[in-house]
Amino acid sequence: MSIVVYLETSDVAVRSASLPALTAARALAQHRGGPIVGVVIGSGLDAAAKDAARYVDKVLAYDAPELRAPLAETYAPVLVAALKAAGADALVASATSTGKDVLPRTAALLGAGMASDISSVEGAAKFKRPTYAGNAVTTVEVTSPTVIVSARQTAFEAAAPLATVGGVELQPAGTVDARGAAFVALHASKSERPDLTEASIVVSGGRGMKSGENFKVLEELTDLLGGALGASRAAADAGMVPNDLQVGQTGKVVAPKLYIAVAISGAIQHLAGMKGSKTIVAINKDAEAPIFQVADYGLVGDWEKVVPAMIEEVKKLKA
């Protein structure tokens, strides 16, 4: 049997958020065997489907105007049809907001078991996943014949293209029924900075920044480093920054090469979203702050002095 991997797309390419799902699917194929079939869904998919074909032997493209927006109501039946068309008994996607929305409904339609937000593949139907805000790791096994898996983006490397380009098969979308749901609008926040979940450097500020105005100095450091800006929930809840910058258990999970936590205490719920970062730098005036327990480099000091000094040093290095 084959493995289907659902690949999210922009107008022209596979979204980088889906590349970790391919890596997870390749790991699963080591245990289950079978080819990996990519599935793309949307409207006007020509370029994106061609891009997807660089990563898999075969791409099934479901292209229809009614599939323009990723609604779970319309995408889940398409994924069910894709599994049938591909002769697959496993479906993998990244645990993005779309993946988290569409996969459980697909699993329900198939009567299949689902392993959510997995961090590793341990067998043909056995996976590890973080629980209790990342404080425990659970091994789960899906016992239904069909296995549905959402993969935590930060736990799997982005897949590289294959040496040969696969083929694209246009599939009939069938009757698209949104079951009373309708896509109204997408209000995406626009930023010149890289996406928080994809940036290789993240600079985050906490409640100790005291005001939104004070985040300007973190923005300056972020932009000098070419990174993304993040925040603790306390800072977001206090209105210092928009909520979509929140890192943590109930925010975004990030694993950049460098994570700089400024005036963040290091509550477990915050750590759950960033402790997979390769190098963690913490700046806090309290030497006892728990963030120092996970930091590779810790600086006990007042951000008002430390961050401007860092900015000057980075400017000198870049000059």
Rounded CA separation 231/210 (Å) = 12
Contact residue for ligand FAD among 79, 134, 284, 310 (CB under 6 A) = 284
Q: How many residues bind ligand FAD (CB under 6 A)?
A: 28
Closer to ligand FAD by Cβ: residue 32 or 252 = 252
Q: Is 298 helix (H, G, I), strand (E, B) or coil?
A: strand
Q: Does 134 bind ligand FAD (CB under 6 A)?
A: no
The residue of the chain with the least Cβ separation from ligand FAD equals 248
DSSP string, 64-80: -GGGSS--HHHHHHHHH
Looking at the Cβ atoms of 93 and 283, the one nearer to ligand FAD is: 283
In this structure, what is the dihedral angle of CA atoms 158, 159, 163, 164, given to the nearest 10 degrees?
A: -120
Q: Which of residues 199-258 bind ligand FAD (CB under 6 A)?
A: 206-208, 232-235, 246-251
CA dihedral sign of residues 85, 91, 94, 95: positive
Enumerate residues 257-276 that contact ligand FAD by CB under 6 A: 263-265, 267, 269-270, 273
Q: Estimate the crossing angle of helix 215-225 against helix 303-318, to 10 degrees.
A: 20
| 3 state DSSP class of 248 | coil
Which lies closer to ligand FAD via its Cβ, residue 132 or residue 183?
132
Q: Which residue has the tokens 């997979």?
A: 276
Question: Binders of ligand FAD among 289-308, rule CB under 6 A?
Answer: 289, 302-304
Return the number of the residue (90 or 271) whose C-beta is nearest ligand FAD.
271
The residues binding ligand FAD (CB under 6 A) are 206-208, 232-235, 246-251, 263-265, 267, 269-270, 273, 283-286, 289, 302-304
